[in-house]
Structure 1
Amino acid sequence: MTYLESLMTTFAVDLSLRPTTFDLWHVCLAGTVVVLMAVLILLLLVMLLSRSRYKKEINTKTIQPIQPIEPVVKIVEKIIEVEKIVQAPIPEPVILKEYTPDAALQMLGLLQKEARFIDFLKEDITAYNDADIGAAARVVHEGCNKAVNEHFSLAPIRNEQEGSNITVPIGFDASAIRLTGNIVGIAPFTGSLIHKGWQVTEVRLPKLTQGHNPNIVAAAEIEL
């Protein structure tokens, strides 16, 4: 016999028996069970309602962007300004312009016409003495001077006397002034004027005809 069977035999409990009468104690116990079940159902409803409201709030709320802290923004702006001051300026890109060689070929032809410039350059002068070369150079000089003065107006870039002290200001035109020697620091610079420089103020090249070939700077001459 098992322990449970011996226990049931000792107390003689009949499990098939059912209560036939309800006293006040059973009524209170049944009422308590009903109240607890109602409270439990109410709590479940409250939890479901609160959960649904929480989901709706999450869906309706928009994510606000994070606003930077004002002192941090000011510090970053100051750092950027300091970097701009410290960094060296980026040089502007060099843009190469393309020119047609017609004007240069035309001027070369004028120098050949007035001073036989190309003939002088292509001549082998090693067989001539200095006096002969000097006489030929005088002729070439006069012809070149005539051709240049006839078709160009020239003016010096600087009007000061060569050898005088010159102050080069900040933002000077690097194409008009060339610095040489020991260049240290930034402008303004002070130095001695070595060469005045030249600039063309007017160009008077003759107009070319439609069928002119600018590559022919000197036509071949045939005597009949």
Structure 2
Amino acid sequence: MRLGLALRAFWKALFDRAAAERVAIALDAPIDSRIEQKTSSPQREPSPTAAPQPPAAPAQNPAITLLATLQRDARLIDLIYENLDQYQDAQVGAAARPCLKQCRQSLDRILKIEKLVPANESESVEVPPNASVARFRWIGESSASAAATAKLVHPGWQAAAIQLPQWSGQAADAEIIAPAQVSAS
């Protein structure tokens, strides 16, 4: 019985994202809570009067949404995947300049990016004791355990607000970054 259940779970999780998420939740739950659920509340049949739940709207990974926005607005992926060896540095710079300007405008619009530490490079800044490594990364030898004054090498970046466009496509298209463009022959 367990082998059959394992195979069913494997194949269902392989081809059904929602089932994979349910299997992951079940596997990650502490054993004690699974035992408590099994012994404390017997399984009840759903009531026949309960309305069926509508299927969840398809979702797109926020990373794909961000890449799709940068490709649509600035053609960033086209620039990154272009074979640049065939061009002179001046040509690459001329192509990159408008792409980078448009990427910045898009990022400012959807992420509101700002400096993490409001200081200029090489200025002295106070690093709080036990500061998060996500917020402050010591370079070279340091006394990272106590509060210290340090020279700012890079101010870091943070998103002050996130306003990704709402995706409304079909589930089969959730991983598409940019559509293929075609024209009549």
Give the TM-score band, short-chain normalised.
0.5 to 0.7
1:146-186 CA-partner distances (Å, limit 9, x unpaired): 22112111221111222112232212222111111112473
Whether the aligned pair in 1 keeps the contact of 2:60 and 2:167 (CA below 8 Å) is: no
Aligned to 2:165: 206
Whether the aligned pair in 1 keeps the contact of 2:68 and 2:178 (CA below 8 Å) is: yes
* Counterpart-to-counterpart distance in 1, 2:100 and 2:75: 10
* Counterpart-to-counterpart distance in 2, 1:194 and 1:179: 10
Letter in 1 for 2:108: N
* Counterpart-to-counterpart distance in 1, 2:117 and 2:144: 23
- SS of the residue corresponding to residue 167 of structure 1 reads strand
- Aligned residues between the structures: 125
Larger Rg: 1
Letter in 1 for 2:127: V
CA RMSD of aligned residues (A): 1.9
Letter in 2 for 1:170: P
Q: Does 1:220 align with 2:180?
A: yes
Go from structure 1 to structure 2 and tell me whether the alpha carbon gap of 1:125 and 1:210 turns closer, same or farther (over 3 Å shift): closer
Q: Does 1:133 align with 2:92?
A: yes
* Counterpart-to-counterpart distance in 1, 2:76 and 2:180: 15
Aligned to 1:157: 116
* Counterpart-to-counterpart distance in 1, 2:68 and 2:168: 15
* Counterpart-to-counterpart distance in 2, 1:141 and 1:159: 23
Whether the aligned pair in 2 keeps the contact of 1:152 and 1:200 (CA below 8 Å) is: yes
* Counterpart-to-counterpart distance in 1, 2:71 and 2:151: 37
Structure 1, unaligned runs of 5 or more: 1-99
* Counterpart-to-counterpart distance in 2, 1:191 and 1:138: 34
- SS of the residue corresponding to residue 204 of structure 1 reads coil
Whether the aligned pair in 2 keeps the contact of 1:114 and 1:146 (CA below 8 Å) is: no
- SS of the residue corresponding to residue 140 of structure 1 reads helix
Which structure's relative contact order is higher, taking Cα pairs within 8 Å and 6+ residues apart?
A: 2
The runs of at least 4 aligned residues of structure 1 exceeding 3 Å deviation read none
* Counterpart-to-counterpart distance in 1, 2:144 and 2:64: 42
1:42-69 CA-partner distances (Å, limit 9, x unpaired): xxxxxxxxxxxxxxxxxxxxxxxxxxxx
Structure 2, unaligned runs of 5 or more: 1-58
